[in-house]
Chains A and B, each alone.
Chain A
Amino acid sequence: MDTAAATVPSNRRPASNSAKVIARKVNVHYGDKQAIKNVSVDIPDRGVMAFIGPSGCGKSTFLRCINRMNDTIASARVTGRIEIDGQDIYDPELDVVQLRARVGMVFQKPNPFPKSIYENVAYGPRIHGLSGSKAELDRIVMDSLSKAGLLNEVNDRLNDTATGLSGGQQQRLCIARAIAVSPDVILMDEPCSALDPIATARIEELIDELRSNFCIIIVTHSFAQAARVSQRTAFFHLGELVEEGPTPQIFSTPRDKRTQDYITGRFG
């Protein structure tokens, strides 16, 4: 454990001094199949961490461990320890709803609620009782939309249904929805895989803007995207964390053969 921690080169940026998320020897089983093998990683407090790797390598599964989304899958079994700010998130005493309020998530396919744009963003703050008044809720919604770079596009049609937006707008709405409950960590599970290049560029820009305020963990199978948006990268292969380090280093001088093969396009 300690050795694993020691291998993580710390403080690439002064802001990310301490690790926000610490995973130790995490194993995930789906029934008999082991999806994640002994993964240990530290994720810094600010900035973007990218999980890359070929399809089926377990990067999404590991991501879903961080907000316990795997709980919804009956056959999934998680062992090991994951801490956020030193708090064990698999502690039976911990309320999973509280956890998910702190760890927002953006999914692969844009999944806005089939309600109005306003309601989509307002839903989270409302169920968590984050706003005392309508005015305050309005402020949170506007703030979130503007942080997600969507406010200018939807300002005049907040009450229109969200499913009428374009794919890229929907995904940015999902990001706005996630940040509306002011989480510490935002998990993004291949957020651009359903989008065209222009929308993708817009989302990547947004991720870059958000990284100073949130700990963002993004799963992508595109190492180019990882190179563009992340400061640190973890490479997963067949359920194992092969290599983790600052993004430029992973891409320029990977230590592991498998990483090198992947980023040079020999497989995956």
Chain B
Amino acid sequence: MTDILASGSHLDAARLSGDATRAKIRARYRSEVRFKAYGVVAILVTGLFLSVLMISIFANGLPAFWQHSLNLELSVAAEDVDPTGKRDPAELRSGDYFAVARKALEAQFPGVEGRTELKKLSQLLSTGAGDELRRRVVSDPSLVGQTLQATLLLDDNADLYLKGAGTRIASRAGHGIVTPSAASGEVRILSTSNDFAREITAVKATLTDRATTLRVEAGRLERANVPETKQKGQQAREEAAALQARIDGIAGIEQLDDRMPSLLIAINGGLVKAESVGPAEIIGTTLLPLTSTGDAKSGDWRIVSYITPESNRKATDIEVAFLERLKANGKIEGGFNWLFLTGGDSREPELAGIRGALIGSLLTLLVTLILCLPIGVMAAVYLEEFAPRNKLTDIIEVNINNLAAVPSIVFGLLGLAVFLNSLNLPRSAPLVGGLVLALLVLPTIIIAARAAMKAVPPSIKEAALGVGASHQQAVFHHVLPLAMPGIMTGTIIGMAHALGETAPLLMIGMVAFIVDVPQGLTDSATVLPVQIYLWSDLPEPAFQAKTAGAIVVLLLFLFLMNGLAIWLRKRFERRW
């Protein structure tokens, strides 16, 4: 017995420890490790791309969910909102609430009187700044003549500035004692010390850069053979020489322009924008009026720079000055942008909302679902269980598979030709959109449903037939319920596909600019992906955030649908 065991183990040892065997085993281990590594790398790369995508979309999109507004105390003047004094709701509704808002804002800047300045000031407000006020007053007419705290929507550019798209602001206290020459308009400010030497140096550095660029440019142009170009080169060289002269000259008064950082002096409660600067003086205009022309002691005045040159940013110096003042006074508040979720589309970015497109998408998907699910499932049941196997059903089967691969724009053309032109259904309506998407999704659902029914073990059907169930009973009592999770998953994937579909809907006019939130299936509407497409086309920078925000909403919608799919799967899944 022991002999047998010993010889057996000896044999095994030889087989296990032979060099060839060991090499083979090592090779197998290596290939397994390699294979696992490929898998892990593939997953990591996918995860990386996905997270980059998600992070970029959310980073771009989240600002769209945040909106700044002014919170001002204002009095609702009867002359603006209710000139007839009858407190008639219709009358109240047509009141000029923007004027109320504008006046409240102007009251914040007592000394600002120039037409241009006032215009700039009122442009900080959204054109819809009075809308909320209107709602409040119409619902409570007793507010007319009262003073109340109101939230006024800011314009998209102001909002963008406050979200950080403006400029970095540097400021330092001045050393000398300064004397302004006037309280508003053209102002000359003299300092007792060389407060602005640093600015002069910066200006000269900028000029040196510019001169260098010009010389390089001139060199390039002069090498050309065309006389006109040579001419331009000469000009550039002259300009460079002129700049060089300024740089080399003694530190006198230097002109500032809008390609340099803006230099401002905050003094006596006002703000002066420097147009030219000397070592101990500046000449400029007031952006915010000074309260007095008295001397300001060392430390009582500040030298402020808006680092980004005015020509490189959307908000001009005066707008920055207004907004910074409002911010410093605590009049600006940020909040969740409910309007983005509750409003319809608008040409004004701060008023544009996603609700119209969201409801449009919901209505469209509703039509699609109501059409697709019963038709698709019934077609699948018939084809899978009852249809005779012959040439005709083969052709139908092949064509269903082909249909799933047809480019979606073709369905749009079909919808245009059949639903709009022949059947005269309303243009841009969720009804037609749903019909078109139903065509698109139907093959997907049929294929998914057939696959799900095929996956039900035939033994279940046999069991039902065995106890004397008819074919139809076996299918509807057993096969179909067991296939339901798969069918629902397929349906929801199809719906998610339909939700993201743009091209066919363009063909049937769902690409129109529609402000109203659709109320029914035949109202004009647009859908989320089309809304994204529309916004991505608009020039206003604020719409970039809106576009990303709309994508976030679309993605959340999709996650929700997929979550539902998973939940339904878990809920109805039965093991066998």
Contact = CB atoms under 8 A, between A and B. Distances in A.
**A, B bound:** yes
Interface of A: 67, 69, 72, 74, 97-98, 100-101, 104-107, 109, 111-114, 123-124, 127-128, 161, 163, 174, 177-178, 180-181
A97 B471 CA distance: 9
Nearest to B461: A72
A111 B575 contact: no
A69 B465 contact: yes
Interface string B240-253: 00000000000000
A178 B574 CA distance: 22
A178 B467 CA distance: 6
A111 B474 CA distance: 14
Contact of B576 (A106, A107, A163, A174): A163
Given A69-B462, A104-B467, 5 more contacts: A97-B470, A101-B468, A127-B467, A177-B463, A181-B468
Given A114-B482, A163-B575, A124 B460 contact: no
Interface string B436-474: 000000000000000000000101101111111110010
Contacts of A128: 468
12 contacts: A74-B389, A98-B468, A100-B466, A112-B463, A113-B463, A114-B576, A127-B468, A128-B468, A177-B463, A177-B467, A178-B466, A181-B468
B478 interface: yes
Contacts of A123: 464, 467, 469, 477
Contacts of B473: 127
B463 A181 contact: no
Contacts of A113: 460, 463-464, 478
Contacts of A177: 463, 467
Contacts of B575: 114, 163
Q: How large is the interface on B (under 10, 10 to 19, 20 to 34, 35 or more residues)?
A: 20 to 34
Interface string B74-104: 0000000000000000000000000000000
A178 B466 CA distance: 8
Contacts of B470: 97
Contact of A107 (B462, B468, B478, B482): B462
Contacts of B469: 97, 123-124, 127
A69 B467 CA distance: 11
B457 to A, nearest CB: 7
A129 to B, nearest CB: 11
Contact of B459 (A67, A98, A111): A111
Query: Which of A98, A107, A111 has the most chain B CB atoms closer than 10 A to its own CB?
Result: A111
B465 A100 contact: yes
B389 A104 contact: no
B229 to A, nearest CB: 84
B468 A124 contact: yes
B572 to A, nearest CB: 11
B463 A100 contact: no
A178 B463 CA distance: 9
A16 B172 CA distance: 116
Contacts of B482: 114
A89 B523 CA distance: 61
A79 B574 CA distance: 40
Contacts of B462: 69, 72, 105, 107, 111
User: Which are the 9 A-B pairs with shortest beta-carbon distances?
Assistant: A101-B468, A124-B467, A111-B459, A105-B466, A114-B574, A100-B468, A111-B463, A114-B576, A97-B470
B466 A69 contact: yes
Given A114-B482, A114-B574, A114-B576, A174 B468 contact: no
Interface in B378-400: 389
A31 to B, nearest CB: 13
B402 to A, nearest CB: 25
B217 to A, nearest CB: 80
B570 to A, nearest CB: 15
Nearest to B471: A72
